[in-house]
Structure 1
Amino acid sequence: MKSLFRYEQKDSLLHRLDPRVKLFWLFGISVLSVVFGTPDLLAILFISTLPFWVMLKPSKSRIKAIIIIFMSVLLSFTISQALFYYWAKDPLFTLVPSSFPLLGPLTGGIYFYADGAVYGLYQSFRVMASLSAAMLVIATTHPGMLIDAFVRFFEIRTAGKSYRIGIPYEIAFMVSSAVSFAPTMLEESGIILNAMQARGLELKGDVRRKAKALKYILVPLVVNILRAGRKLAIAADTRGFRANRHRTYVNELKLKRNDYIFLIYTILLTSGGLYLSYIGFGGTVPI
């Protein structure tokens, strides 16, 4: 799972694209995943991200992690909506009858609705489309370039001066650090778990034993994360972080031919999706 949050260094088309263009594409996919309201469009939106995974040719560990994430999202949405679908009429079968002691009177019975399962199935495409695009951006964009894209998303030159439009550098650094800390946490938890098991920690058994074992893992994990954060803060201070308000950059972001082609594709995709939503394919309606 830790490979999901790591930059994968390769020479693919997405790697060569300007990070600002990729962020704009991610924004467009996220907007369309909200405004679309029909199963066909939501499925097409998700499928539109899959060819970029083929171009990327990810590692086997990343493919395995992606499949686990997508299947988890799909099953959680499908099952939750099958049990709690508001517009459902006739249940497919009963899980807990209303006459069941205590739980039955409290819930009025728990039923499985086929139309709710279908509704949850296509609603899961909303999350999977945005999630797929976000993971593609993370996998193909170096963290340093991602920070530059956030800070210098748009630049205007006038009267011999340049004005950059973007979020403050401190916030961009914080976001990039938070993303990079995710695989670190997973690695640390794995190391701590192996160390505790080598010392005789038993994880098998009832819920009480597992909860007791959990505290032996969480405490050293939090301590190690705090230590890593402190080291990062010291390293940033020694390198003059925030020492100068007007920063200079080694790499200048410039759009190339492929960037313009991908930008036009993103604009056409987003504007076409918004138009379809405007003429009646938008909103979330019960099936």
Structure 2
Amino acid sequence: MISLFLFFYGVALPIGLLLTVLGLKGLMEITRYESGKTFLYKLNPLTKVFFGIVVMSVAAVTIWWIGAILTLVTMFLYLTLNDGKKKFAYITLLVFITIIGSTWSIAPYTPNSVLQMVFPCPTSSYTVVWVWPSYFVNIMGYEPQLTLQALIYGAQISFRITSVLVSSLLLILTTTTSDIFRMFSKVKVPLAITFSILVGVKTVPRIFEILDTSVKMQFIRGLGYGKPRVLYPLYFFYAGLMAIIPSMVYLLRGAKNLAISVDTRGFRAYESRTMLVNLPFTKYDYAMFAVMIGLIILAVLANIYGFGRSIPYVGY
């Protein structure tokens, strides 16, 4: 019974927090563009793309706590956005959910041979949290024992994911699809790739909006009516699952209509396009490039002084 509880804790808790506490509305808030006047809105889209790439690279080649610091610092940038406190709360919750989900997707599967590189001590000294039954080991591929060291290792790995997540969402929150298209065209990115990226950026918030509408419609039609409120999260989860297929059908139909629309307007008729609006690099961009250069230097120094990823993640 405890094994099942731990399993569903690792699987159901992130999903439950995502659907009930953060909610589809919260996901829409941090994946949808809103105009603003702070420095993040004034950055060139290419600068934001490079920033995300640099953060991802630095987090990938350095020790875990550098990724944790990058996550925390980037999260505070959300306070400069429109309604920044609300967005900061949403992104904090999303990071927390990501850490839990990532930890529990890594820890049960990490063998002692890997943990010994991370924690160079006899495996007999590891703190055993739980011993999995044989069917968890044989069917699900779990390691026989869940140790505290495996949980620490999973949490350390999760900071690579969170640093990329928070830096990437800044691009979606502060940049219009038109500006992204102009910048990618200026640096000669193929139009097919540019268009695919723009469709993705445009679709992400739309997915949550459609799912939210579909879930609410199911409750309006009587889903869970008269049932105990303690079962509401289960009905909400069920409604979310039932909304996936209709939402995907709606989005695919919209993608088809969009393809027809751009073809009739002569999209890709020429290899290059002229632009009415020029996107210059401002002093804010140069400041961000200086920050990125500093991060690259930090990554190099970290590897030189023994804090690179070749040195295992140390939890103490």
What's the TM-score once normalised by structure 2's chain length?
A: 0.73
Q: Secondary structure at the match of 1:247?
A: coil
Aligned residue number for residue 41 of structure 1: 66
Mapping of 1:161-172 within 5 angstroms?
166-172=188-194
**Cross-structure match for 1:143:** 177
Residue of structure 2 in register with 1:68 after alignment: 93
Q: 1:135 to 1:93 in 2, by over 3 A?
A: same
- The 2-side partners of 1:211 and 1:198 are apart by 15
5+ residue gaps, structure 2, are 1-26, 116-122
Per the TM alignment, residue 248 of structure 1 is displaced from its structure 2 partner at its CA by 0.4
> 2:215·2:236 contact (CA, 8 Å) conserved in 1?
no
Q: Letter of the aligned partner of 2:70 in structure 1?
A: L
Change (3 A) 1:181 1:93: same
CA distance in 1, matches of 2:260, 2:143: 57
Partner of 1:259 in structure 2? 285
Label 1:41 to 1:109 Cα distance change in 2 as closer, same or farther (>3 A): closer
Q: Within 5 A, what are the aligned runs for 1:1-287?
A: 1-36=27-62, 38-56=63-81, 58-59=83-84, 61-87=86-112, 88=115, 89=123, 90-96=125-131, 100=133, 102-103=135-136, 110-153=144-187, 166-201=188-223, 217-284=243-310, 285-287=312-314
- Post-superposition shift, 1:249? 0.6
CA distance 1:131–1:215, change in 2 (3 Å): closer
Q: Distance in 1 between matches of 2:40 and 2:237?
A: 43
- Once the two structures are TM-superposed, the CA of residue 185 in structure 1 deviates from its matched residue by 1.7
Shift of residue 213, structure 1, vs aligned partner: 6.8
Q: In structure 1, what residue type is equivalent to 2:165?
A: L
Q: 1:58 to 1:266 in 2, by over 3 A?
A: farther
CA–CA distance in structure 2, aligned partners of residues 13 and 108 of structure 1: 47
Structure 1 gap ranges (5+): 154-165
Higher alpha-carbon deviation: 124-133 or 84-93? 84-93
Q: TM-score, normalised by structure 1?
A: 0.80
CA shift in 2, pair 1:26/1:219, >3 Å: closer
Residues 155-208 of structure 1, C-alpha deviations (whole Å, 9 max, x = no match): xxxxxxxxxxx3212211211111211221222122222223333445988xxx
Aligned CA distance change for structure 1 residues 230 and 45 (closer, same or farther; 3 Å): same
TM superposition shift of 1:109: 6.8
**Deviations, residues 8-39 of structure 1 (Å, cap 9, x unaligned):** 21101111111111211111111101101x23
Aligned residues with identical type, % of pairs: 25
Partner of 1:160: none
Question: Number of paired residues?
Answer: 269
Select the structure of larger CA radius of gyration.
1
Residue identity opposite 2:193 in structure 1? I
Post-superposition CA distance 1:242-273 (Å, at most 9, x none): 12222101112222222222212211221332
